Amino acid sequence: MKLTGAEIIIKTLIEQGVTDVFGYPGGQVINIYDALYKYRDQINHVLTAHEQGASHAADGYSRATGKVGVCIATSGPGATNLVTGIATAMLDSIPMVAITGNVPCSLIGKDSFQEIDITGITLPITKHNYFVNDVSKLADSIREAFRIAKSGRPGPVLVDVPKDVQVATYEFEEEPIPEKFPLPLAKEEQIAQAVAMLNAAKRPYIYIGGGAAGLGLGQEIIALAEKLDAYIGCTFMGLSAVNGDCDRFLGMQGMHGHYASSMAQKESDLILGIGVRFSDRATGKVSAYAKGSKVIQLDPDFSEINKNVTVDLGIVADVKDAFRRIAAEVGKQEHPEWRAAVGKLQAQEARFDSEQRERAGEKLVPRRLFDIINAKKPPKTVIATDVGQHQMWTAQYASFDGPRRFVSSGGLGTMGFGMGAAIGAQVATKDPVVLITGDGSFGMNLNELATAVTYQIPLVIVIVNNGVLGMVRQWQTLFFGGRYSNTVLERKTDFVKLAEAFGAVGMTASTPAEFEQAFTDALAIQGPVVIDTYIDKDEFVLPMLPPGGSIEDIITNVDTKGEKPNAK
């Protein structure tokens, strides 16, 4: 059948299994929006308050499901407003297809109204992008965009379509969804070498990242840890990959990771990295990382092998297949000395946690805030965050109900990510969603509260309000002599009134009892609820690694009034 280019775009999205898209209309995508109206019974469009919100919503949609998220924007500022969201997806390997309109082909290169070279702008932050100047190539370009986005190491792809291509007509025939591009399988000798190294290890540590989080290997990773008498740590992006209640799971390592996890990695003699980049955020001083350990790295992306940490064995392959083959062949191991050593680290961490609770008394501190959230949140809750201290407290203290129950910006660290991402996650899953944000981050994209109200999306938005840009101020306290340059938010924002002005419900809480009541009430409301919680500005995220420091320099206790930290 003959369709316009705009209709071909929407029909191809439907063909690819897309049921929801996020976007904002404009002159150069008006034909696409007309086609969306025509096919509105087959594809749902969520109108966000800003194109950046649309990109984050598509990202959150993908993180919560593993499906390709889709966002649409017009040319010029509409397209450039997607850039931060596309970059966020790129650094965290999130499959996304961004569709932008552009001026007609005859006006390209003439500085036309709202003309911008969005393919050039996004070249470094996409897996691939397309400028489609021929309607006959439109459907196949979109199909290939989806295939690229979800194959190998996932990531965002942009498709830029001039307006005259949207108006032109061409025959369209629906095609089956193509398989992902196949990944190579690990060679037998690589599997054998990995098995031999694991069997020989006395202090094995399994290190999981974002590349493992979406593979559904959680129980199998735990089973391998039991078999090897190993312990499991993770990156920030690896959170929720395995059950946090497992005795073998030590939590996140690195900059603000759990003490036991970071120190166990330091004391290990072999690290099995599964879908990890070994980024500086997780390793600390790279030159000091894994000095006493052999390292095995499983990853689908050749460019990640030896990029940050020199490894003893790098396997570029289908990670799930390689992992299962290794797990099937390793022998049962017993390492009582390793268990005892890790047990001591866990006891030290428990002591730090106990001391923090004792110091808090009846104050509402992050640890107590998450005790309440963990106890009260419904099953299958998705926890989303913005970026800042609240994000790290979430990583340290929140419990997750399974894979894809944690939605947060890792690699780019995008303040303002949370609202759009939380909306996308709820649209995708229809499950309860709790957004943890800060008074700084929330201000970045709070306009998306209007989107949540319009669509009556049930979100519980917890603002961890300390009146400062907490993470930067923490560094200023510890390493810059308490010189608080532009990190004190001397604002008078009443978040309850603001929420009500948008049509949402607003609440406040300054004690544990008040927060427990507010959170319980919020969960019963069908629609967005903002809970403004008051946290002392001198609550710090600990442990932490000092700038340029290694794992052995980990800081667990500080005098927040002074200049110098009391390490360990």
By annotation, the residues acting in catalysis are 51, 113-114, 163, 471
CB count in 10 Å sphere of residue 510: 14
Q: Across-strand partners of 385?
A: 436
Query: CA-CA distance, 51 to 77, in Å (whole number)?
Result: 9
Buried b (16+ CB within 10 A) or exposed e, 253-270: bbbbbbbbbbbbbbbbbb
Using an 8 Å Cβ cutoff, are 77 and 29 in contact? no
Contacts of 224 (CB under 8 A, 6+ apart): 206, 230, 323, 326, 327, 330
Angle between helices 512-523 and 366-376 (to 10 degrees): 30
Residue type, position 66, single letter:
G
According to DSSP, residue 396 is labeled H
Helix (H, G, I), strand (E, B) or coil at 162: strand
Query: CA-CA distance, 87 to 493, in Å (whole number)?
Result: 30
**Ramachandran angles phi, psi of 297, nearest 5°:** -125, 120
Query: CA-CA distance, 516 to 499, in Å (whole number)?
Result: 20
Listing DSSP states for 422-470 in one string gives HHHHHHHH-S-EEEEEEHHHHTTSGGGHHHHHHTT--EEEEEEE-SB-H
Helices (H), 173-300: 188-200, 210-213, 218-228, 259-267, 280-283
CB count in 10 Å sphere of residue 176: 6
**Ramachandran angles phi, psi of 529, nearest 5°:** -130, 135
